[in-house]
Amino acid sequence: MGRGNVLVLTGAGVSRESGIATFRDAGGVWEGVDPMQVATPRAFAADPKFVWRFYDARRAHAASAQPNPAHRAIAAIEATGRPFLLATQNVDGLHERAGSKKLVRLHGSLWRVRCTACAAEHEDLRPKLEPLPPHCTVCGAMLRPAVVWFEEPLPMIEFGRAQFAAREAELVLVVGTSSLVYPAASLQMAALESGAYVVEINPETTSFSAEANEHLAGPAGVVLPALLLAAGIPMEQVV
């Protein structure tokens, strides 16, 4: 304790106020489509074009969305210069666009593609990819979205950094996640066990709410700027 390290863990709820649907709420992504049909290695092997269409639509949607006050508040905490890490499950790139730099992407990114054969990985910021599925310029094999699907392991270095930060943190903010998807949801538990003060920010109660030291009920884009105001952290200086 007294280390001053801050870890922020985020999920889809943080982008809700940017107009991006969450996964498991009413009207969420998984209401219209079964995750097992689009977000598993098996689904991709069975119908790559169908899976690519799903991700292409999400790329187009994310490209037209803007970061909201929650993303900006998180970037402003980092900008104070205290020991900080953001570990996000989001793949939409809005944290980066709000100015967050010290971040790990636990579930990859919509804006990166990876070769299914030679493992070449690169950034691709085009909102729409034509024709689908895209192919590798190095070896000609099919490209896949560089996101983590169900039944796939999380990127080891990123998850390791988040685990380390969870054990070192004095304060952890768990923002906009249902805390249902593992191993990401194990991070807030590890932080609690190491003695961090863990605050959940979510308009709804979740499977984690009873464990958290505090639950601040409200939208992230309202609660986070209010917390910064109370802490005397300016929102404007970022980017």
Question: Which active-site residues does the annotation give?
Answer: 107
**Binding positions for Zn ion, 136-175, rule CB under 5 A:** 136, 138-139, 141
Among 227, 207, 237, smallest CA distance to 70 is for 227
What is the C-alpha separation between 219 and 70, in angstroms, rounded? 9
**135 binds Zn ion, rule: CB under 5 A:** no
Nearer to ligand BV8 (CB atom), residue 170 or residue 200: 200
- Least separation in angstroms between CB 47 and Zn ion: 20
Phi and psi, residue 190, nearest 5°: -60, -40
Nearer to ligand BV8, 114 or 168 (CB): 114
Q: What are the residues whose beta carbons fall under 8 Å from the beta carbon of 193, sequence distance 6 or more?
A: none
Q: Does 16 bind ligand BV8 (CB under 6 A)?
A: yes
From Zn ion, ligand BV8, none, interface partner of 118 (C-beta below 5 to 8 A by class):
Zn ion
Q: Which of 5, 100, 109, 178 binds ligand BV8 (CB under 6 A)?
A: 178
Pick the piece of the chain touching Zn ion (CB under 5 A) from 13-21, 48-56, 102-110, 129-137. Answer: 129-137
Chain center to CA of 13: 9
Which partner from the list ligand BV8, Zn ion, none does 211 bind, CB cut-off 5 to 8 Å by kind?
Answer: none
Positive or negative: CA dihedral 23, 29, 34, 37: negative
Q: Which residue is nearest to ligand BV8 (CB)?
A: 13
Distance of CA 230 to the CA centre of its chain: 26
Q: Which of 27, 6, 23 is nearest to 90 (CA)?
A: 23
87 CB-contact burial (10 Å; exposed 0-12 / middle 13-18 / buried 19+)? buried
Q: Does the protein bind ligand BV8 through residue 100 (CB under 6 A)?
A: no
23 binds ligand BV8 (CB under 6 A): yes
DSSP alpha helix (H) spans, the chain:
29-32, 35-38, 41-46, 48-64, 69-79, 94-97, 156-168, 186-193, 220-231
151 binds ligand BV8 (CB under 6 A): yes
147 binds ligand BV8 (CB under 6 A): yes
By the 8 A CB rule, do 200 and 217 touch?
no
Residues 43-82: x where in contact with ligand BV8 by CB under 6 A, - otherwise, as a string: ----------------------------------------
Q: Which does 139 bind (CB under 5 to 8 A by kind): ligand BV8, Zn ion, none?
A: Zn ion
Q: From the CB of 214, what's the least distance to ligand BV8, in Å? A: 15
Residue 143 phi, psi (nearest 5): -95, 155
Residues forming contacts to Zn ion in the complex (CB under 5 A) are: 115, 117-118, 120, 136, 138-139, 141
